[in-house]
C-alpha cells in the first residue's frame, strides 16, 4: 500500500453469542458513511445463531465450531481481510456513522502511524448503575490519557494490516476476553511503532455489568494477567489505568483498610483511617466530579465505595500476580541447582 493513497478499511468483529447487542452493533455499522470495504464477522463457537445475523447484514462470515477466544477470532478475521486498515470492533459496541471516514482520514494523513485506539463515549447503553459507573470510568480514563498511547484496545482499535501480520497478531494463549489487546500494544511499542489515542473516536458500550461479572473480569482476566505482562516486559507506564495516582490510591486504600482493622485494638486507628480517606478522595476528586456532572451527587457518592473496591482488588491482583511470577522464576532455579548438585562427583572416604 502507498501511504499517500486513500486506505481501505476492513471491520473485524469477533462474536460469541452476541444477542441483541450484536444486532445493534451491525445495524450501526450498516449506517456508516462511507462504508467499509468489508465487514468480517468471526462466529466464535456461538450457539445463539449470531452467525445467521451476520449473514442477514451481508457480512463476510467465518465460523469456528468451538470457542477459542477473541484473540484467535480476530487473527482469523485479519488473515481473511483485504483492507489496508484493520478496524477491530467488539460485538457489544456501537460505532458512530463517521467512524470509518475518521479511520480513513487518520491513516491517510499520518503515514507513520501504525495503530490507533478510541474510547467509550459518555452515554453507556445500559442504564444500570454498575454499567454506567464502569463505562463512564473507562471513558474518563481514556479521555484524560496520553495521546501517545502505550497500548492497544480491541473494542475500538485500528491497525495497518501489514504491521499486524508482521507482529504475529494477537497472542492466542488468551482463551477468554482478557488483555490480548494490551499485550499486542506492548509488543508494538517495543518494536518502535506509534499508537495514537484518538479521543474524538468514541463508541458506545452496550454491555450490562453485574457485580459478579465485573469483579471476575477485572480480577481474573485483567489484573492477574496484566501483572504477569508487567513483570514479563519490566514496564510500568504512567498512563491510563497504571497512572502514578492510581498506584498511590492503592497504597492509601490498603493503609485505610489496615487502620480500620486496627480499631479492634484501638479506637485511635479509626481517626487514622478517616485521615487516610481524605487524600484518597482528593486524588480522585476529578473523577468523582465527572460522575457528579453526568448523573448528580447521589450517583457520584455511590461510586466511591465501588471505586475503592476497584483499588483493593487491583492491588490484590498485583500482589497475587507478583507472587506467581516470583514462584515461576524460582522453579527453574531449583531445577538448575538440583542438576548441579547431582552432577558433582561422589566423595569416597
Q: Could you write out the DSSP letters of every residue in 199-239?
A: EEEEEEE-PPP-HHHHHHHHIIIIIHHHHHHHHHHT---SS
Amino acid 344: pLDDT: 34
Among candidate residues 171, 25, 8, the one with its CA nearest the CA of residue 89: 25
Which domains can be identified in the chain, with CATH numbers? 9-208 (3.90.550.10), 241-335 (no CATH)
Q: Taking Cα atoms as reference points, which of 182, 193, 33 lies closest to residue 110?
A: 193
Phi, psi dihedral angles at 296 (to 5 degrees): 95, 175
DSSP designation for 89? E
pLDDT for 5: 77
Q: Write down the pLDDT at residue 339.
A: 30
Question: Are 43 and 62 in contact, with CB atoms under 8 Å apart?
Answer: yes
Q: What is the pLDDT of residue 330?
A: 67
The pLDDT of residue 340: 33
pLDDT of residue 334: 42
Rounded to whole angstroms, how far apart are CA atoms 209 and 222?
15
Q: Going from the first residue of the chain to its last (349 residues), give the mean pLDDT of each consecutive group of 10, the final group possibly shorter.
A: 76 96 96 96 93 95 93 97 98 96 95 96 97 97 92 96 97 93 95 96 96 94 90 67 81 90 74 89 97 97 97 93 85 39 33
Burial status of residue 44 (CB atoms within 10 A of its CB: 0-12, 13-18, 19 or more): buried
Contact 132, 126 (CB under 8 A): yes
Q: How far apart are CA 159 and CA 171, in angstroms?
A: 16
CA–CA distance, 127 with 338 (Å, rounded to integer) = 59
Collapsed DSSP state (helix, strand, coil) of residue 159: strand
Q: Say which DSSP state 333 is in.
A: H
Residue with cell 463476510: 60
Note the pLDDT of residue 242. 63
For residue 4, what pLDDT is reported?
A: 54
- The single-letter DSSP state of residue 14 is E
- pLDDT given for residue 52 in this prediction: 94
Amino acid at each position: 500500500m502507498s501511504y499517500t493513497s486513500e486506505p481501505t478499511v476492513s471491520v473485524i468483529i469477533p462474536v460469541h453469542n452476541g444477542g441483541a447487542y450484536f444486532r445493534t452493533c451491525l445495524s450501526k455499522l450498516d449506517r456508516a458513511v462511507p462504508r467499509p470495504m468489508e465487514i468480517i464477522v468471526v462466529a466464535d463457537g456461538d450457539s445463539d445463531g449470531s452467525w445467521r445475523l451476520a449473514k442477514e447484514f451481508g457480512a463476510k462470515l467465518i465460523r469456528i465450531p468451538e470457542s477459542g477466544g477473541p484473540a484467535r477470532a480476530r487473527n482469523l478475521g485479519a488473515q481473511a481481510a483485504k483492507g489496508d486498515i484493520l478496524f477491530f470492533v467488539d460485538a457489544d459496541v456501537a460505532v458512530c456513522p463517521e467512524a470509518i471516514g475518521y479511520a480513513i482520514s487518520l491513516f491517510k494523513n499520518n503515514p507513520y502511524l501504525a495503530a490507533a485506539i478510541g474510547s467509550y463515549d459518555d452515554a453507556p447503553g445500559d442504564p444500570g448503575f454498575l454499567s454506567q459507573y464502569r463505562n463512564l470510568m473507562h471513558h474518563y480514563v481514556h479521555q484524560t490519557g496520553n495521546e501517545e498511547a502505550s497500548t492497544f484496545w480491541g473494542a475500538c482499535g485500528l491497525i495497518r494490516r501489514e504491521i499486524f501480520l508482521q507482529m504475529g497478531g494477537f497472542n492466542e494463549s488468551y482463551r477468554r476476553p482478557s488483555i490480548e489487546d494490551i499485550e499486542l500494544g506492548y509488543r508494538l511499542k517495543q518494536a518502535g511503532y506509534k499508537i495514537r489515542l484518538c479521543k474524538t473516536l468514541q463508541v458506545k458500550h452496550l454491555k450490562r455489568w453485574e457485580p459478579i461479572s465485573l469483579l471476575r473480569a477485572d480480577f481474573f482476566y485483567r489484573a492477574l494477567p496484566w501483572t504477569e505482562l508487567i513483570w514479563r516486559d519490566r514496564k510500568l507506564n504512567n498512563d491510563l489505568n497504571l497512572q502514578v495516582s492510581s498506584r498511590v490510591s492503592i497504597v492509601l486504600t490498603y493503609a485505610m483498610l489496615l487502620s480500620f482493622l486496627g480499631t479492634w485494638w484501638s479506637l485511635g486507628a479509626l481517626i487514622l483511617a478517616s485521615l487516610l480517606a481524605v487524600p484518597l478522595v482528593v486524588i480522585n476528586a476529578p473523577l468523582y466530579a465527572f460522575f457528579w456532572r453526568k448523573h448528580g451527587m447521589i450517583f457520584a457518592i455511590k461510586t466511591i465505595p465501588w471505586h475503592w473496591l476497584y483499588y483493593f482488588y487491583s492491588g490484590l491482583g498485583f500482589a497475587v500476580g507478583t507472587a506467581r511470577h516470583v514462584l515461576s522464576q524460582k522453579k527453574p532455579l531449583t531445577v538448575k541447582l538440583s542438576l548441579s548438585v547431582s552432577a558433582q562427583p561422589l566423595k569416597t572416604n
